[in-house]
Amino acid sequence: MTIFQGKFARNFSWLLGSEGLVRVTRLGTAVVLARHLTAFEFGIAALAIASHELLRVLAQNGFGLRLIREADAHIDRLSNTLYVLNWLWCLGLFAIQCCAAWAVARYYNHADLQGMLIVLAAIYLAMPLGLTHMYRVQRRQQLKITAWVDSSQIMIDNLLTAALAIAGFGAWAIVLPKLIVVPIWVVGYRIAERWQFRPAAGFASFRGAFTETRSVLSAELARSVRAQMDIFVIGRFLGTEALGIYYFARNAGLGISLALLQAAAHAMLPRFGELHRRFGISTELRSATFRILGLLLLVTLPIIVAQTALAPLYVPLAFGDQWSDAIPVLMVLCLSAVPRIVGESITQLARASGHAHIDARWNIWSVPVFLCCIVLGSSYGLLQTAIAICVFHFIYQSLFVTATMSGLFGRSVPTTLPARVSP
């Protein structure tokens, strides 16, 4: 079948395979954490990770998209420019998170949060060493490399987390490994991509390097706020213990689906970028989009349905009866992954085709709407909050996909194109 052929299918297969290996270690880690950490400790770790992720989104500055969309003749000069900008950008993020650590710890009245956030901020000091190399690997669509580098990093993170939890590190068991494994990511990409910073090769326009930044950064910031907002609202209104139950449900359930979504995004962006460079906004690009989306749903829907339906069986068996209260929340959150996967596909299409502003606009207005849904849900309880999240995503992603596809392909597109290509 042609749906299983082509660069996207091969890259997605590699990413899915690596994610399968990651899931084995993550399942073991989840079992260990569920049996060695209390709901309160889960809640503290959730606040630290959510705060870090909220700031880390600023690293999604559009530089990678700029490199993916650049013509071959200018790649080396643009790489030099991005290398310098990544250093300046990440040093700024390090300083911002260190300053924010005190405020977060004071707001939630827990001293350990400050130390956790400072430890996580140190990750920014290593990121510039591998970011440009990662962009170049993605541009070449060599996602077999991405699969192995990222999965190796995450698997070791999971194993270290389990070991530290058993050793009695509490919430720190979730935080410390994320810094320890950073060298794996840096070394992996530098081995895979032998590019070196050579000022003699020249630089692209520094202003031009920010072409995609405003749209991508605003969209990612809005997405991150939306992704972490539930943590902060639940922690504030329902308490740390309820947050721990919710965080467990989100990681044990939605974590698998979001990992599939991330794998798909990694494979889709460079593939859509290549198709757009070849064909522009065309019927060929539209057809490839539907074939890619069909492949994604064919692979992910059975996984999501099985995970949702079997939750009452595997949660008590794998994690213990003490997490039974999280089962309904887990099941609802799993269902919310279906519209997210469809929406992510169209997000990558819009960005690769030079219309990242569409994605940004929709994500920005969605934040206050999502906040209202979370606050309304949390006023009734934890399960009602999960239902509010699920309903929001089904409505929002449906509107976003319809509007974006209509905006990109609603007008007349060329019909005399080369032969059909596989996804």
pLDDT digits (tens, 9 = 90+) for 170-198: 889 988 999 999 999 999 999 988 898 98
What pLDDT, on a 0 to 100 scale, did the predictor assign at position 328? 92
What pLDDT, on a 0 to 100 scale, did the predictor assign at position 376? 93
Concatenated DSSP letters for 163-224? HHHHTT-TTHHHHHHHHHTHHHHHHHHHHH------GGG----TTGGGTTHHHHHHHHHHHH
pLDDT digits (tens, 9 = 90+) for 32-89: 887 888 878 877 887 888 788 777 777 777 777 778 777 777 788 889 988 999 999 8
What pLDDT, on a 0 to 100 scale, did the predictor assign at position 406? 87
Distance between CA 241 and CA 247 in Å, rounded? 10
Nearest CA to 21 among 188, 156, 155, 178?
A: 155
Contacts of 187 (CB under 8 A, 6+ apart): 130
Tell me how crowded residue 17 is: count the other CB atoms within 10 A of its CB: 15
What pLDDT, on a 0 to 100 scale, did the predictor assign at position 418? 41
User: 19-28, 72-81, 352-361, 369-378: which range is least confident on average?
Assistant: 19-28
pLDDT band at 321 (very low <50, low <70, confident <90, very high): confident
Distance between CA 255 and CA 371 in Å, rounded? 21
Q: State yes or no: pLDDT of 414 exceeds 70.
A: no
pLDDT band at 17 (very low <50, low <70, confident <90, very high): low
Which pTM does this prediction carry? Answer: 0.67
